[in-house]
Chain A
Amino acid sequence: MIDTTQYAGRVALVTGARRGVGRIVSEHFLSRGAEVVGLARGEPTIDHPRYRHCRVDLADAEAIQAVFADLRGTVEHVDIVVNNAAVLTSQYAMIMPAGAAQAMVNVNLLAPFMVSREAAKLMRKRKWGRIINIGSMAVSLEPVGDSVYAACKAGLSTMANVMAREFASFNVTCNTIAVTAIDSDMLRQLPRDKVEAIIERLPLPRFAEGDDILNVIDFLASERSSYITAQTIFLGGVN
Chain B
Amino acid sequence: MLTEIEIQGIILRALENVNEELDADSKVAVGADTCLFGSDAALDSLSLVSVIVDVETEVSTAAGRQISLTDDRAMSREVSPFSDVHALTAYIAALLAETV
Interface positions of A (Cβ within 8 A of B):
65-66, 69, 72-73, 121, 124, 166, 169
Contact = CB atoms under 8 A, between A and B. Distances in A.
8 contacts: A65-B66, A69-B60, A72-B57, A72-B61, A73-B61, A121-B53, A121-B57, A124-B53
A66 B61 contact: no
B46 A166 contact: yes
Contacts, number: 13
Contacts of A72: 57, 61
Interface in B50-100: 50, 53, 57, 60-61, 66
A124 B50 contact: yes
Main secondary structure on B side of the interface with A = helix
Of the four ranges (under 10, 10 to 19, 20 to 34, 35 or more), the interface on chain B belongs to under 10
Interface string B19-58: 0000000000000000000000000001000100100010
Interface of B: 46, 50, 53, 57, 60-61, 66
A124 B53 CA distance: 10
A175 to B, nearest CB: 21
A163 to B, nearest CB: 12
Contact of A66 (B50, B57, B66): B66
Nearest to B50: A124
Given A121-B53, A121-B57, A69 B46 contact: no
